[in-house]
Structure 1
Amino acid sequence: MESINQSLRQFSNSRLQQQFQKLKKDVLEDARIRSYLASHPELTTEQRDNGLNELYQYKEQWQNCDKCPGLDACPNLIKGYQPHLTIYRHDIHLEYQTCPLKRKADERKRHASFVKSLYIPKEMTEVSFDDFHEDNPSRVKAFAKAMGFCAEVKPGENGRGLYIHGPFGVGKTFLVGAIANDLADRETTTMIVYAPDFFRELKTGISDGSYQNKLDVVKQAPVLILDDIGAETMSNWIRDDILGAMLQFRMMEKLPTVFTSNFDLDELAIHLSSTQRGGIERVDQLKAGRILERIKHMNDVIDMKGENKREK
């Protein structure tokens, strides 16, 4: 960038001299410039004039910030950065630091990197405990337990999770969305998965070879949230090869799992025992019982009650 002084030396007519003097006056009368120069009385007139271009850029870019059009339309030399004046080897120099909007955008991206989701509406991954406004005792208790879980969770050290059950529309998915975002603030990676769609996706992944990789990504998540468990069509394969194997791995690795379901644990036991073969056989009851024991052993139960908020 060509400096003001360099431009001046290319011209000698009085009109340009007048324009330069006006520009110089405007720069030196700027409130921020006056404040900066007053805080550095050691600067000589020569140093000040040599740094006039930096002072000009500082003034202009801060005026852009005063009328900020938003991060995407930022007109500054470096989008999302604000200028700061420094002294380097007795000369005035400009440095740049991120502006509040840029820092906020970067924080959102960093935050998003800790929350991964499959088949979950985007708005459910953006809610937080701050969005909770409730006086229903059951929901208040559920949110208190959820916040306690977030404060204590330690993937790899403590594998305890939550089993959240209740009827349609009481806010179970909302609650796990808030859990995921609270954990993201604590830099704990969370995977939220809508269980029925995930199980269907695994089935289609057998034919194209993506099955194992998809399963590994989910089962190895530091914190896994399985939303709406029990809404899937149960089969021996889902129960034994997917859900059972996943929970066994997570129990051994002490990785917390959070479930939401319309079923309480007794109802889930019946669901896990009822496969597409029809009826409930002894062997199915035994295999379902193993999964229930893992869930009971590693999860605190939250019973959410209340009116269906989706009907409001």
Structure 2
Amino acid sequence: MKDMQAELRKLMDQRHMTGAYRQTIAKAVADPEVQAFLAANQAALAPDAVDRGAAKIYEFVNERNKRAAGEASFAPGYQPQLVVANGQLDLAYEPTQARVAAEAKAAQRALVKAINMPKAIATASLANYDPTGRDEALDAATDFTLAVAQAPHAYHQGLYLTGPFGVGKTYLLGAIANQLAKQGIASTLLHVPTYAVEMKGAIQTNSVLAKINAIKKAPVLMLDDIGAEALSPWFRDEVLGIILQYRMQEEMPTLFSSNKTMAELTRYLAGSERGDNEALKASRLMERIKFLAKEIAVGGNDRRNG
């Protein structure tokens, strides 16, 4: 059996090479990183591995140098690696650290499903949330995310964030969703007033049930701005009622934000006439909300216009 080092010396000996191609191959084989790989894997390589794998060596060095120079490479986002396969040299392309990080970030973003929500929630963070006047809300949000992380399959009562317009309730929901995503937990954020309008349109397309089912089974559901929708007994009973009843029975984490306190939302859902029947239906819905979430006041100044 031929000695591999002897074969390597033969390949690199310019007297055995003709033309620019041979010189290019010899230069690639002489590359320090290639030499280190060959030395580390000498026992696993066949004696003729360098000769037969010369093109692989050249491709490795060429693609590596392109990446180092910032030039377009054969496989953007992937880096070449020399490997041994059945005693011969081969080339594998592995994702770069940057690509791995980008894919992880994309996967994390995919865990947050935002429906008709402001773009700002995409970058919302508990770490950047100003606690001035709303430290209780921040503490409650932090405790909630920690509890879910520690026991993701257990029931955790959510939050009902109430406070004036512009104090950061929606942002806080987004920050909670993003923190949960870092922990590998999916959530859905839904702007209730817009959803109410869309559900009326769904009646015409006979897609009400499908839309309800798509929302009610979210691992973590966040209903933003509840109580700001136009009052509709149908939406209250046949949409919100079904969603919240399901989540209460299945003990699924649910959060809310509203400009109304729970007491104010109760009166609103009962309607202006407040007949006994409507008041009873409103109370039933509120019982589900109270089971699912605890009321937390969000204070501070108007961050949007202040």
> How high is the TM-score relative to the length of structure 1?
0.84
The 3-state SS of whatever aligns with 1:246 is helix
- The residue type paired with residue 73 of structure 2 is P
Choose from 258, 261, 282 the match for 1:261.
258
The 3-state SS of whatever aligns with 2:27 is helix
Q: What is the CA-CA distance between 1:37 and the residue it aligns to?
A: 2.9
Matched residue, 2:176: 179
Matched residue, 2:49: 47
Q: Using a 3 Å threshold, how does the CA distance of structure 1 residues 68 and 254 change in structure 2: closer, same or farther?
A: farther
Q: What is the CA-CA distance between 1:47 and the residue it aligns to?
A: 2.5
CA contact (8 A) 1:156 1:255 kept: no
> Is residue 143 of structure 2 the alignment partner of residue 148 of structure 1?
yes
- What is the CA deviation profile of residues 113-141 of structure 1, one whole-angstrom value per residue up to 9, with x for unaligned ones? 322121112331343334x15241x4333
Where in structure 2 are the equivalents of 1:292-303 lying within 5 Å?
292-303=286-297
Q: What is the CA-CA distance between 1:161 and the residue it aligns to?
A: 1.3
Choose from 274, 277, 285 the match for 1:291.
285
The 3-state SS of whatever aligns with 1:255 is coil
In 1, distance between residues paired with 2:116 and 2:299? Answer: 25
Matched residue, 2:84: 87
- The residue type paired with residue 108 of structure 1 is K
Q: Using a 3 Å threshold, how does the CA distance of structure 1 residues 221 and 36 change in structure 2: closer, same or farther?
A: same
> Is residue 237 of structure 2 the alignment partner of residue 236 of structure 1?
no
- The residue type paired with residue 184 of structure 2 is E
In 2, distance between residues paired with 1:135 and 1:257? Answer: 23
> How high is the TM-score relative to the length of structure 2?
0.85
Q: Using a 3 Å threshold, how does the CA distance of structure 1 residues 68 and 101 change in structure 2: closer, same or farther?
A: farther
- Uncovered stretches (5+) of structure 1, i.e. residues with no partner: 1-13
Q: What is the CA-CA distance between 1:68 and the residue it aligns to?
A: 3.8
In 2, distance between residues paired with 1:147 and 1:229? Answer: 22
Q: Using a 3 Å threshold, how does the CA distance of structure 1 residues 68 and 172 change in structure 2: closer, same or farther?
A: farther
Q: What is the CA-CA distance between 1:44 and the residue it aligns to?
A: 7.3
Q: Using a 3 Å threshold, how does the CA distance of structure 1 residues 116 and 36 change in structure 2: closer, same or farther?
A: same
Matched residue, 2:38: 37
Identical pairs, percent: 32
- What is the CA deviation profile of residues 130-183 of structure 1, one whole-angstrom value per residue up to 9, with x for unaligned ones? 4x15241x4333222212212223676415211111112211111111111222
Q: Using a 3 Å threshold, how does the CA distance of structure 1 residues 281 and 185 change in structure 2: closer, same or farther?
A: same
Matched residue, 1:282: 276
Q: What is the CA-CA distance between 1:272 and the residue it aligns to?
A: 1.2
In 2, distance between residues paired with 1:38 and 1:209? Answer: 69
Matched residue, 1:227: 224
Report the number of matched residues: 288
